[in-house]
Amino acid sequence: MAGELTLKPIGIIHSPFTVEEGTPIQPSLAGGARGWVEVFPEFEAGLDDLEGFERVWLVYIFDRAGEERLKVIPYLDSREHGVFATRAPCRPNRIGFSCVRLLGRNGPRLEIGDIDVLDNTPLVDIKPYIPGFDSFPEVKTGWLDRPLPKKMGADSRFAGKNESSDK
Amino acid sequence: MAGELTLKPIGIIHSPFTVEEGTPIQPSLAGGARGWVEVFPEFEAGLDDLEGFERVWLVYIFDRAGEERLKVIPYLDSREHGVFATRAPCRPNRIGFSCVRLLGRNGPRLEIGDIDVLDNTPLVDIKPYIPGFDSFPEVKTGWLDRPLPKKMGADSRFAGKNESSDK
């Protein structure tokens, strides 16, 4: 079994958010924040026909998350849960994905709406959002079965020590 | 910038599918196929409270995908598209995610429905499916704006040379 994989960035995500505190915790709670994605030139050909999709998944590395934890108190609760039952960044493998709005493309540059990612985050993949594959509006959500807020920003509970010095 | 990340498996995905040909291309086209996930003991505590979620994202490595391509003819079209405008496995970073049905949990073992992943695939993350974050039923889907089939299996177009010898 090929058990490991080293991810190499294909680009960089740019956003107005430079520290975890105040960064939207999800695209749907981002209040329409704008950002952009810079795909490195050697990967630009892979973007062809992406512009027809209204939303895309950005897959990225939580490069400024604090140390790995298996139990966390997530932003949307006051109780502790297993990290795999949350979307907290301090996971064994620090991969995040966000379903953002694709507002436009200019060559290797993508204009993004509903961005919830820290500025300068390493991007490792882009996938089209396809409702037939990805949209399940009615499913049960365990500890989170209650209305979500309209907008919500993070605090610094999952920030790594190097977050501010990294800027 | 921390530009790279080496993923370490947290478990193994088990399914009835041992070669790419015939493997469902997505959970929603899997016809309810059953599988299970074995999470390694050292990560079991991270699963607490996952069982309340009806669907979960399995994040895994496409460990048997063929060589990287930036242009592909995906299963659902006869025309070529940029790989980032498709869900094909032969991507620069071979990460896949599937929104599967969580049927039950017994300690570190998860029973899975709608599985679309090859047997023995390395698992790197599990995240709860949260409609408020992940469900956008009405968005436009570019080249794929047409009804999807009810069920669809892969052929061997993205298989690596070692797929059969790997079994």
* Chain B residues with beta carbon closer than 8 angstroms to that of A12: 1
Mean pLDDT over B139-158 rounds to 87
Tell me if A58 is assigned to some domain.
yes
For residue B15 the two structure tokens come to: 């399914």
- The yes-or-no verdict on residue A167 having pLDDT over 50 is no
Tell me if B146 is assigned to some domain.
no
- The yes-or-no verdict on residue A51 having pLDDT over 50 is yes
- pLDDT at position B148 is 84
Encode pLDDT of B98-137 as tens digits.
999 999 999 999 999 999 999 999 999 999 999 999 999 9
- Which range of residues forms the domain containing residue A78? 11-131
Cβ-nearest to B52 among A127, A132, A140: A140
In contact, B53 and A85? CB cutoff 8 Å:
yes
- pLDDT at position A81 is 96
Tell me if B69 is assigned to some domain.
yes
CA distances (Å), B30 to each of A127, A150, B39, B149, in order?
20, 34, 22, 11
CB contact under 8 Å between A5 and B148, yes or no, is: no
Encode pLDDT of A136-149 as tens digits.
999 999 998 888 88
B128 touches chain A (CB under 8 A): yes
Cβ-nearest to B124 among A8, A61, A95: A95
Q: Is A106 helix (H, G, I), strand (E, B) or coil?
A: strand
Q: Is A85 helix (H, G, I), strand (E, B) or coil?
A: helix
Tell me if A164 is assigned to some domain.
no
CB contact under 8 Å between B63 and A27, yes or no, is: no
To the nearest whole number, what is the mean pLDDT of chain A? Answer: 91
Tell me if A2 is assigned to some domain.
no
B146 touches chain A (CB under 8 A): no
CB contact under 8 Å between B46 and A70, yes or no, is: yes
CATH number reported for the structural domain that contains residue A97 in this entry = 2.40.30.70
- pLDDT at position B118 is 95
Q: Rounded to a whole number, what is the distance in Å from the CA of B12 to chain A's nearest CA?
A: 10
Q: What is the DSSP letter of A48?
A: T
Q: Given pLDDT bands bounded at 50, 70 and 90, which one contains residue A8?
A: very high
* Chain B residues with beta carbon closer than 8 angstroms to that of A99: 133-134, 136
This model of the complex carries an ipTM of 0.92
B112 touches chain A (CB under 8 A): no
Residue with tokens 């010898």: B165
CB contact under 8 Å between B133 and A3, yes or no, is: no
Q: CA-based Rg of chain A, rounded to a whole angstrom?
A: 16
* Chain B residues with beta carbon closer than 8 angstroms to that of A125: 84, 91-93, 95
Q: Where are the alpha helices (DSSP H) in chain A?
A: 131-134
CB contact under 8 Å between B84 and A131, yes or no, is: no
Number of domains in chain A: 1
Side chain identity at residue A39, one-letter code: V
Least trusted range by pLDDT, from A38-47, B19-28, B98-107, B111-120: B19-28
* Chain A residues with beta carbon closer than 8 angstroms to that of B132: 26, 28, 148
Tell me if B160 is assigned to some domain.
no
A67 touches chain B (CB under 8 A): no
Tell me if B63 is assigned to some domain.
yes
Query: Residue A147's CB: how many other CB atoms inside 10 A?
Result: 6
Which stretches of chain B are assigned E, i.e. beta strand? Answer: 5-7, 11-14, 34-39, 55-61, 71-72, 81-82, 95-106, 109-113, 121-128
Question: Rounded distance, CA A79 to CA A73, Å?
Answer: 6
Taking the whole predicted model, whether its pTM rises above 0.95 is answered as no
Residue with tokens 């242009």: B71
Tell me if A155 is assigned to some domain.
no
CB contact under 8 Å between A82 and B45, yes or no, is: yes
CB contact under 8 Å between B52 and A125, yes or no, is: no
Q: Which residues on adjacent β-strands are paired with residue A127?
A: A57
Mean pLDDT over B14-29 rounds to 89
